Amino acid sequence: MKKLLILFLLLPLTAAGQLKISLGADSPLRKLQIAHMAVENLYVDSVDANELAENAIRGMLEKLDPHSSFTTAKETRELNEPLQGNFDGIGVQFNVIEDTLIVLQTVHGGPSEKVGIVAGDRIIAVNDTAIAGVKMSRADIMKRLRGKKGSKVNVLVKRAGERKPLAFTIRRDKIPVHSMDAAYMIEPGIGYIRLGNFGATTHKEMLQAADSLRRLGMTDLVLDLQDNGGGYLSAAEDVANEFLEKGDLIVYATGRSVPRHESKADGRGRLKTGKIVVLVNEFTASAAEIVSGAIQDQDRGIIVGRRTFGKGLVQRPVELPDGSMIRLTVSHYYTPTGRCIQKPYKAGGRKDYDLDFEQRLKHGELTCRDSIHFADSLRFETLRNHRTVYGGGGIMPDIFVPLDTLQYTRYHRSLVAKGIVVQEAIKYYDKNRRQLRKFKTLDDFKQRYVLPESLFEAIAEEGKKQKVEPKDDDEKQRTRPYLTEQLRALIARDLYGESAYFEIINMTNPIFTAGVAEIKRNI
């Protein structure tokens, strides 16, 4: 019952600041308490009281809106970890191929690098428990490798060229989690930064990247927020602040029981000059939409891509005694012009809400701008240049880029869905690691590296084993160009890091090319 009783904290306050709690005969809370006690004491089979309370909470929240939610203590930790900036572990990037963990990279200066583990090592046992050849899940492997900072873990490693396995004792430490996916110079004067989410270290990471790019001559910036699902509001405010003038409104939020809260730029931003283009798509959401909306409404930059997701509901976390958490929607986000970011929804209509992408595709919104219709009541004007922008959910870009439905063949989508492309690329890299290292720089790799036919044959053969085959030779040939660039990008990532992946794969992205074309106008 503790989880139900803690919900009393959400009840309105009296003038004296006391909770208005009524457990009279007609009280809804009394009804809930009686129901819980009846099931716990009278139900035909034994029940878990804690599970009953959790299901009751979930049932309440599911009938409210699509983003109010409940998570167990374990789920809460897992959800928060990517945003907190670090976790405790051994510091390796790995993948599991054929039931064996292969180290792709070690974190520079991290615990594994310090004891001598290198890329290509295969970790076959952890604390005397075999993890190779036993069909152990990735989650279970991570559980064994992670642990509290300062604790020790023993691993057994199989290394190419060594006859016997090598034993290492690793002292776990804080491992950084980065929210910036890539940063590089597109061409002289134009920099590129891609943010994967908005976490505790996002602002710091972005500024470090921007400073590095400016030393390389950056004057204008392409900020990539495609597929960025959001994160911390404070991180979004800090990022937007870098581009805006003192006093510029970034975002405001208001709700039935929450007073209006405004966030304004403090004028100390370090990216207030130069052209800005922001790249977005239908998976850009929440905090990423706040940044996009602020830059658009303040006429600071141009938004390029497709209408964003439309997640503008503010959740307040309510921590429960066992570490589980309720995230309760308490207000709406609004852009500086007063546009509500949240797209329409029906209370309890989570299924229809989750199918929004399919509905956009069905109605042609993702492929044709003319298929997107806005009521006159949703028309707004930007604050400086008085350009027309629209509300009604999400951020509608200034320059629309249609989804290219022909870029990916059915054959390619099936290969990717089965994990065949990534797995075969990793196998190839692992076998040819030494030869690939002869390409000392990414520029050298891009100019001289040619994918071997054997890699395409391996992908086709593995696809055939898993019943994934092209319909005909035409589909096979149409798959080849994008698959080639995807494989080159995956191999480059393992050689040079995450930025290298995007530096190659971006050239196949129509939103990216449209954004670069826009920022080059009038330079």
pLDDT in tens, 64-80: 988 899 988 888 877 77
Q: What is the pLDDT of residue 213?
A: 98
Mean local confidence (pLDDT), 220-248:
96
Instruction: Read off the tokens for 376.
Output: 């006159």
Q: Are strands 313-319 and 325-334 parallel, antiparallel or unpaired?
A: antiparallel
Catalytic residue among 297, 356, 430, 494: 297
Of 217, 142, 152, the closest CA to residue 186 belongs to 217
The rounded percent of the chain whose pLDDT value lies above 90 is 53
Instruction: Read off the tokens for 92.
Output: 């390796």
Q: What is the SS3 assignment for 272? A: coil
φ and ψ at residue 332, rounded to 5 degrees: -110, 150
> CB–CB of 266/346 below 8 Å?
no
Mean local confidence (pLDDT), 6-32:
56
Q: Which residues contact 394 (CB under 8 A, 6 or more apart)?
A: 289, 307, 308, 309, 310, 341, 343
Mean local confidence (pLDDT), 416-430:
88
For the ranges 125-139, 281-295, 343-357, 407-421, the lowest mean pLDDT is seen at 343-357
Tokens 């290292």 locate to 437
> Which residues face 328 on adjacent strands?
316
pLDDT, greater one: 304 or 63: 304
Catalytic residue among 69, 179, 286, 499: 286
Q: What is the pLDDT of residue 82?
A: 61
For the ranges 11-15, 215-219, 277-281, the lowest mean pLDDT is seen at 11-15
Q: Residue 76 carries which side chain, given as an amino acid letter?
A: T
Q: Rounded CA gap, 396 and 382, in Å? A: 13
> CB–CB of 2/57 below 8 Å?
no
Give the Cβ contact number of residue 176 at 10 Å. Answer: 14
Q: Rounded CA gap, 210 and 216, in Å? A: 10
Q: Rounded CA gap, 57 and 420, in Å? A: 40
Highest mean pLDDT among 46-60, 189-203, 422-436: 189-203
Catalytic residue among 69, 311, 356, 430: 311
| Measured CA angle at 68 (ends 62, 70), to 5 deg | 80
Q: What is the pLDDT of residue 307?
A: 94
Q: What is the pLDDT of residue 523?
A: 58
Name the H helices within 63-165: 73-84, 111-115, 138-145
Q: Rounded CA gap, 464 and 237, in Å? A: 49
Q: What is the mean pLDDT of the chain?
A: 88
* pLDDT per residue as tens digits for the range 124-160: 999 988 888 877 877 788 888 888 889 999 999 988 7
Residue 44: pLDDT over 80 = yes
Q: What is the pLDDT of residue 374?
A: 81
Q: Which residues contact 91 (CB under 8 A, 6 or more apart)?
A: 106, 107, 110, 111, 112, 113, 173, 175
Our answer to whether residue 398 is catalytic in this structure is no
Our answer to whether residue 311 is catalytic in this structure is yes
Q: What is the pLDDT of residue 311?
A: 93
* pLDDT per residue as tens digits for the range 239-275: 999 999 999 999 999 998 888 999 999 999 999 999 9
Would you give the DSSP letter of residue 344? P
> CB–CB of 334/254 below 8 Å?
yes
Q: Which helix (H) or strand (E) holds 439?
A: none
The rounded percent of the chain whose pLDDT value lies above 70 is 93
Q: What is the CA radius of gyration of the chain?
A: 26
Number of H helices, E strands in the chain: 19, 21
Name the H helices within 43-145: 49-62, 73-84, 111-115, 138-145
Of 294, 371, 372, the closest CA to residue 333 belongs to 294
Give the Cβ contact number of residue 323 at 10 Å. Answer: 13
Mean local confidence (pLDDT), 304-310:
95
Our answer to whether residue 414 is catalytic in this structure is no
pLDDT category of residue 366 using cuts at 50, 70 and 90: confident
Angle between the N-to-C axes of helices 453-465 and 420-431, in degrees from 0 to 180, rounded to the nearest 10: 140
Q: Rounded CA gap, 128 and 138, in Å? A: 18
pLDDT, greater one: 84 or 39: 39
